[in-house]
């Protein structure tokens, strides 16, 4: 699709991490083309599975890259929160906007991507969900990193105990205990801040 043009100066950046490229692209927009090259094909496949229309899928992906570039300053790398998970969330939210337009126009979808289907269900209460997630994120920022990591993965990213264990190299049992202790620390911090319970 060619969203950005690659400069010769950018040829040495192909080994840079996603986050490094995102930061550098703020001052050197042409470097963003490397992120486009990395994610364009998988984004298109995912968008097409959701919207089932090639032209709309291309628009969704183009809008997604535009949003990623414009909102690059909002991405803060954290344990368990990578650039790819952040970018895919933007893709899903953009696809959801297109999905709503298509449904409003009377189109029906016989099959939905499983993760997107879950997103559609979650969006039925999107405002309160967003407020809850903002409240959770605010408290997580104040917790020790090992507690914040498991709570973020389990409650915000919806990872299972076993998936977190596989990711961290721990056992599912130890992750369950850590989540329990992390929730206690979370609730203590939440009480100190005077927030309403969320977890």
Total number of domains constituting the chain: 2
| CA-wise closest residue to 150 among 139, 135, 165 | 165
Mean pLDDT by 10 residues, the chain (199 residues): 47 72 85 90 89 87 92 77 86 84 65 57 54 68 86 80 88 91 85 62
Are 133 and 157 within 8 A, CB to CB? no
For residue 34, with 0-12 CB atoms within 10 Å meaning exposed, 13-18 middle and 19 or more buried, which class applies?
A: buried
Structure token pair of residue 190: 């939440």
Domain CATH code at residue 30 = 1.10.1740.10
Are 82 and 92 within 8 A, CB to CB? no
| Residue 117, domain member (yes or no) | no
Are 175 and 138 found together in one domain? yes
Are 87 and 132 found together in one domain? no
| CA-wise closest residue to 168 among 140, 149, 196, 185 | 149
Structural domain containing residue 174: 125-199
| CA-wise closest residue to 35 among 92, 95, 81, 43 | 43
Would you state the pLDDT for residue 132?
Answer: 61
pTM higher than 0.75: no
SS3 78: strand
Would you state the pLDDT for residue 115?
Answer: 59
Q: How far is CA 157 from the centre of its chain?
A: 8
Are 51 and 100 found together in one domain? yes
Would you state the pLDDT for residue 156?
Answer: 73
| Residue 87, domain member (yes or no) | yes
End residue of a domain, out of 112, 143, 174: 112
End residue of a domain, out of 60, 89, 112: 112
| Residue 7, domain member (yes or no) | yes
- 80 torsion bin: left (phi>0), alpha (psi -120 to 50), beta (else): left
End residue of a domain, out of 80, 112, 144: 112
Are 56 and 15 found together in one domain? yes
Would you state the pLDDT for residue 8?
Answer: 43
Which residue is it, tokens 């203590």? Answer: 188
Would you state the pLDDT for residue 1?
Answer: 52
Longest dimension (CA), the chain: 54
Are 99 and 50 within 8 A, CB to CB? yes
Residues 6+ apart with CB under 8 A from 39: 65, 84, 87
Are 94 and 131 found together in one domain? no
Domain CATH code at residue 199 = 1.10.10.10
């Amino acid at each position: 699709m060619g969203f950005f043009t690659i400069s010769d100066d950018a040829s040495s950046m192909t080994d840079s991490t996603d986050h490094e490229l995102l930061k550098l692209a703020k001052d050197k927009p042409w470097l963003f083309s490397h992120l486009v090259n990395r994610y364009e094909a998988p984004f298109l496949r995912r968008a097409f599975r959701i919207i089932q229309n090639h032209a709309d899928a291309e628009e969704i992906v183009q809008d997604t890259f535009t949003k990623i570039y414009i909102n690059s300053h909002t991405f803060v790398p954290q344990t368990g929160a990578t650039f790819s998970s952040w970018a895919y969330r933007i893709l899903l939210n953009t696809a959801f906007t297109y999905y709503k337009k298509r449904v409003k126009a009377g189109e029906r979808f016989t099959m939905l991507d499983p993760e997107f289907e879950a997103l559609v269900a979650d969006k039925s209460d999107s405002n309160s969900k967003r407020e809850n997630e903002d409240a959770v994120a605010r408290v997580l920022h104040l917790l020790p990193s090992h507690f914040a990591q498991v709570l973020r993965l389990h409650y915000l990213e919806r990872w299972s105990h076993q998936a977190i264990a596989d990711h961290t190299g721990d056992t599912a049992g130890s992750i369950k205990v850590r989540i329990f202790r992390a929730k206690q620390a979370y609730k203590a911090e939440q009480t100190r801040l005077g927030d309403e319970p969320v977890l």
